[in-house]
């Protein structure tokens, strides 16, 4: 029986206005794969609007409210991400099967199918509540996580490791190096994009590589931060293998 808690909400299947590739089926295929492998699900709760303001400027939050349906789902994605990080604080691995993604959301601007920065919110909230002092974020998405990078820029307490290489073995080596340089820390969060998969836009990583990355995250968390580790869904658009790839990352982290 897998021990990883999968944070989910049926509302993530909402067909809100966004780019056509960022479709509800993305979380649906992952949900199906994890259900078939006996994972246990935890229901996400919406974030408090005050939580959004930990990272975002009030005018961004206000402008997102103009599309109420999408705003409500984005609030649930932020809340689910906060919950995944809280579960990880007990040493239980967690995966936020959330939608919309977040790593292209900066404090005052957003793009790339992202509205609020789920990862930045989850980490910053733990810091402000004094539950952690230091964190590392490993972003393995094909696209540079500019929102997360912008928010934590200049901070010595949060290391953001954005891995960018189109060479498979080099990519894996950079994941390992980035984590080594980041230590010590109190929790690790993975911005889990699967769009660098060999059959997705990035044409780089194999399914087994996601498992290997998960294993690196697990080992480092056990050596450095009492096993506190979680991941949040970012990109990934090749639907036939998206569930398999997500399961492999999760199995590696378990």
Contact footprint for Zn ion (CB under 5 A): 141-143, 193, 195, 235
Q: Which is nearer to Zn ion, 186 or 195 (CB)?
A: 195
In the complex, minimum distance from the CB of residue 226 to Zn ion, in angstroms, rounded to a whole number: 30
Residue (of 176, 216, 214, 170) closest to 194 by Cα position: 214
Q: Which residues, other chains included, contact 189 with Cβ-Cβ below 8 Å and sequence gap of 6+? A: 85, 88, 119, 122, 123, 135, 136, 137, 138, 229, 230, 231, 232
State the burial class of residue 7 (Cβ atoms within 10 Å of its Cβ: 0-12, 13-18, 19+). Answer: buried
Residue (of 119, 178, 173, 112) closest to 143 by Cα position: 112
CB 217 within 8 A of CB 229: yes
In the complex, minimum distance from the CB of residue 205 to Zn ion, in angstroms, rounded to a whole number: 13
Q: Which is nearer to Zn ion, 5 or 143 (CB)?
A: 143
Q: Which is nearer to Zn ion, 186 or 241 (CB)?
A: 241
Q: Which residue is nearest to Zn ion (CB)?
A: 235
Q: Which is nearer to Zn ion, 210 or 220 (CB)?
A: 210
Structure tokens at 106: 């900066």
In the complex, minimum distance from the CB of residue 171 to Zn ion, in angstroms, rounded to a whole number: 14
Q: Which is nearer to Zn ion, 86 or 234 (CB)?
A: 234
In the complex, minimum distance from the CB of residue 233 to Zn ion, in angstroms, rounded to a whole number: 11
In the complex, minimum distance from the CB of residue 82 to Zn ion, in angstroms, rounded to a whole number: 22
Q: What is the DSSP string of 160-206?
A: EEE---SSHHHHHHHHHHHHHHH-S-SEEEEEE--TTBTTSTT--B-
């Amino acid at each position: 029986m897998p021990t990883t808690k999968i944070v989910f909400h049926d509302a993530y299947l909402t067909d809100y206005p966004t780019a056509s590739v960022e479709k509800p089926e993305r979380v649906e295929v992952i949900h199906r794969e994890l259900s078939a492998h006996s994972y246990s699900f935890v229901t996400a709760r919406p974030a408090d609007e005050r939580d959004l303001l930990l990272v975002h400027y009030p005018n961004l939050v206000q402008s997102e409210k103009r599309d109420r349906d999408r705003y409500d789902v984005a609030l649930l994605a932020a809340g689910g991400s906060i919950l995944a990080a809280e579960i990880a604080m007990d040493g239980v691995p967690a995966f936020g099967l959330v939608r919309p993604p977040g790593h292209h959301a900066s404090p005052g601007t957003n793009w790339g199918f992202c509205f609020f920065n789920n990862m930045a919110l989850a980490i910053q909230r733990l810091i402000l509540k004094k539950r952690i002092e230091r964190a590392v974020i490993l972003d393995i998405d094909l696209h540079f996580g500019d929102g997360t990078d912008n928010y934590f820029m200049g901070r010595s307490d949060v290391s953001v490791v954005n891995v960018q290489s189109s060479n498979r073995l080099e990519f894996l080596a950079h994941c390992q190096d980035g984590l080594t340089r980041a230590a010590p820390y109190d929790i690790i969060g993975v911005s889990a994009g699967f769009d660098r998969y060999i059959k997705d836009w990035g044409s780089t990583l194999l399914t087994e590589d996601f498992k290997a990355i998960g294993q690196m995250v697990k080992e480092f968390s056990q050596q450095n931060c009492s096993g506190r580790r979680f991941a949040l869904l970012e990109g990934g658009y090749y639907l036939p293998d998206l569930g398999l790839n997500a399961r492999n990352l999760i199995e590696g982290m378990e």
